Amino acid sequence: MKISKIRTSAEETSDALWVQDVAFAYDGLKVLQGVSFRVSPGRFTVVLGRNGSGKSTLFRVIVGLLKPQRGSIRVFGRDLHGLGFRDRTRLLGFLPQQHHAIFPFRVRDVVLTGRAAHVGLIPKSEDREAAMEALAQLGIDHPAEKPYTDLSGGEQQLVLIARVLAQNPRLLLLDEPTAHLDFVNANRLLELIRHSLCPKMTVVAIVHDPNLAFWHGDDFLFLAEGRVLIPDPQRPPWSSELVQRVYGMVVDILPWKNRAVVMPKVGS
Ligand SMILES: Nc1ncnc2c1ncn2[C@@H]1O[C@H](COP(=O)(O)OP(=O)(O)OP(=O)(O)O)[C@@H](O)[C@H]1O
């Protein structure tokens, strides 16, 4: 099977995200090994891979929370390490996988913290409007005055997504945004990303369910054994060969409206 590596070139700065030969290890545990890929602006790219394949580590390296042992990363042509806080938060938004709320801040104040890059000492009316608009976009209809800690897991997840939307970055990295969301909210969120946020924003999201991913995503990249597999552009990304290689599981792929449904092979 031909898996094409995405072409990379330091001169090409039209990419929203450019990752070149990144390697990262935790105390000798090699997690990322020569990872290279590019993300086109305005697209919704979905990252898939098994538990422990290094997806969150890759995101944490991209946003600068972890320092790679090797490699280069550019966001809209700019090396993130050379940017100050404001420029960085205007370029890049990040929803981490885990968030532990301790203080009972009101929902709207949690979302307002997403405006940190835009706000001076005191939030302006446009910051409050951006926060409320982000909540509305996600269909959050419970009171914005409610303490965040009183919300359900799925409601908290939506509020955290609203916070990063209120930030209005050019590139948004979402680590499992559909975690804790029900079937309706998960589909609504991915639809919102694909049809409303993109193409103004570029979104890269880790999604575990290949069906949700293949239904909503524009582009796909797979992580396996510390390396990125880019689908062959001549073939659909949901080829059973590729899916089986990534997940190590025999699957049936059912074509559906130019997309596909992935089913675990019964009895396999
Ligand atoms: N802080 C850490 N210290 C040491 N090892 C870590 C640390 N964080 C992650 N790892 C290890 O690195 C590997 C990749 O973890 P990572 O969280 O990036 O995977 P993932 O693909 O995001 O997994 P999941 O789908 O379960 O969220 C795993 O083997 C994990 O045990």
pLDDT 10s digits, 97-136: 877 777 788 998 899 888 877 776 688 888 889 889 999 9
> What's the CATH code, domain 17-102+170-230?
3.40.50.300
Predicted confidence at residue 40, as pLDDT, reads 94
Atom of ligand 1 nearest to the CA of 60: 18
Pocket test for ligand 1, best of 35, 55, 59, 209 (most atoms within 8 A of CB): 55
Q: Check: CB of residue 165 under 8 Å from CB of residue 114.
A: yes
ipTM of the complex: 0.98
The per-residue pLDDT for range 188-229, each reduced to its tens digit, is 999 999 998 998 999 999 999 999 999 999 999 999 989 999
**pTM score:** 0.91
Atom of ligand 1 nearest to the CA of 27: 4
The per-residue pLDDT for range 42-57, each reduced to its tens digit, is 999 999 999 999 999 9
Predicted confidence at residue 113, as pLDDT, reads 87
The structure tokens listed for 86 are: 């404001």
Q: How many CA atoms lie less than 13 Å away from 165 in the CB half-sphere? A: 25
| Closest residue by Cα to residue 162 from 201, 134, 190, 136 | 134
Q: Check: CB of residue 54 under 8 Å from CB of residue 31.
A: yes
CA of 47 to the centre of ligand 1 (A): 15
Residue indicated by tokens 């965040």: 148
The per-residue pLDDT for range 60-70, each reduced to its tens digit, is 999 999 999 99
